[in-house]
Structure 1
């Protein structure tokens, strides 16, 4: 005689108090804290008793891990994801890049819908913003076009920069009545704000002979209004390099990542 199953029956959880999502978030927070102290993936893995590959995936999810391979995998996956489901996109990415499916997955962030509620997006937004800036800067260095420069300029609005002499400044870009950004930067230096025309920024861009070359002083970019600030921006964007003495004054504001 077949026994009737009792309501609520079935296999009991071995650890009913275990919360996979919370555990993963705690691990991610700890991994990010160690990574920002310049710890290697292996050393972080040793401290947290995790596999280095999982540590990397946690850091990718937090938006703080940057590498050419990770960028290539994520960009390729995102292209396929526009027309394919998740699993098929992984397979397509693996095929075109010559990687295993497991390797592709290891370079993708954890799926937010599975492990994180929508409210968690705010907690990783800073890291995600860094990653967006990193990608935009890479594009700009490869193709220093007006379009790519504008994308980077928008992403760095409000980020602390430094002039040739080491003076800190930020800039903002305001919107017009039509809701679109105006092509004008407002430089914030202490209590004063100065406007910087987009045409001036483009003029300086055109005066760069080679991306990444050393530009000895701001005026070398041209006799342009606001060139002191443009110089600091271009150094941060990787469009130019600066003399060692200027670099010491400027780099302290930047930290290790974009």
Structure 2
């Protein structure tokens, strides 16, 4: 055996860099909680607060419970029962025991408990969710699309991939983002960021290209139609698994992971047409 190498102390700040250094779950939770409390103190209903913060009323209630400003008999009973079991059981066991004791569902029990990690944000609020949460949302969106390939579910897939890096037919990297309109709702328009000046891509163009898929392997972007921005749509469809590309093109575009989850284009397009 060779000689043992001397221990080399690790440099401060070394190791793998964070994929999202701007992400701060504690800060995000605090900001949402303060916003919810301010609106609640102004006598707004849970539904109205939810509309204002783009959250459902149950999450608003949970935020207010976390802040200690929301009170009700049910909330008090759930929390008291939870604390009794918590002394001798794990978190998961306590939730189940509390649910059985009060004849509630597990989801109902957790909805009356304070947040521990953070609040669930909309999929387009990329800066407020973790990398793992982003991946889970993309997986769930793609699963819904596979099970029911409707235009709405395809949009969910496209929105969940906002900010993700793609490659064009020639191997040029790009990404896109979804922006809010004047009414604070997300518009169905994608902003492609590849050069200094972003280009817009209409959602109608994406849907039109989807209907033009003929066969599993699509040789080039123009095969999807003479559509504005089709070179970007081609890269998106390949990443989503809606199309396959020639082997020589894969060398430039890369080989997306999880090929076992790819869809057969003929099946997808057929289901879209029927819907």
TM-score by length of 1: 0.50
CA distance in 2, matches of 1:180, 1:120: 20
In the alignment, which residue of structure 2 is the partner of 1:118?
Answer: 117
The answer to whether the aligner puts 1:231 opposite 2:242 as a matched pair is no
- Please list every run of 5 or more consecutive structure 1 residues that lacks an aligned counterpart in the other structure: 1-32, 34-84, 92-110
Deviation at 1:86, TM superposition (A): 5.0
Distance 1:177 1:144, change over 3 A: same
2:96 aligns with 87
Question: Relative to structure 1, is the Cα distance of residues 197 and 128 closer, same or farther in structure 2, using a 3 angstrom cutoff?
Answer: same
Q: Deviations over 1:199-232 (max 9, x none)?
A: 111100111245xx11111111111010000000
For structure 2, the 5+ residue unaligned runs are: 1-15, 17-93, 101-109, 121-126, 262-275
Over 3 Å counting, the alpha-carbon distance change for 1:119 and 1:146 in structure 2 is closer
Give the secondary-structure state (helix, strand or coil) at the position aligned to 1:202. helix
In the alignment, which residue of structure 2 is the partner of 1:207?
212
Structure 2 CA distance, aligned partners of 1:154 and 1:214?
24
Q: What does 1:14-163 correspond to in 2, within 5 Å? A: 86-87=95-96, 117-118=116-117, 125-163=130-168
1:144 to partner: Cα distance: 2.8
CA RMSD of aligned residues (A): 3.6
1:222 maps to 2:225: yes
Normalising by structure 2, report the TM-score: 0.47
> 1:208 aligns to what SS in structure 2?
coil
Q: How many residues align?
A: 151
Equivalent residue for 2:22?
none
Output the CA distance in 2 between the equivalents of 1:189 and 1:127. Answer: 25
Residue equivalent to 1:249: 252
For 2:119 and 2:187, locate their aligned partners in 1 and report how far apart those are by CA, in whole Å.
32
